[in-house]
Amino acid sequence: MIKVKKIKIKVNGKNYTINNHYSINELLNKLKIPKKMVAIELNKKIMDKKKLNKIILRQKDSLEIVHFIGGG
């Protein structure tokens, strides 16, 4: 039996346990967050949406995901 290593991260102040080698893109898909209408900050640095597949999350990473809302 193969055991998958888990890591702990924070997303918008909430703790999550995910599989090791998870990309930001995979996390957004798992959380059902559309990429079009959000800004993503990883450890206080704004991320380029074009690179979300390549950015692998690590133990104790902290993400802030901000949704854009239109209105007048």
Which domains does the chain show, CATH number per domain? 6-67 (3.10.20.30)
> Tokens 């995910």 label which residue?
18
Q: Report pTM.
A: 0.84
* Cα 52 from Cα 24, distance rounded (Å): 5
Q: Averaged in consecutive runs of 10 residues, what is the pLDDT profile of the chain (72 residues)?
A: 85 95 94 90 96 96 89 64
Confidence (pLDDT) at 1: 64
Is-contact 62 56, C-beta < 8 A?
no
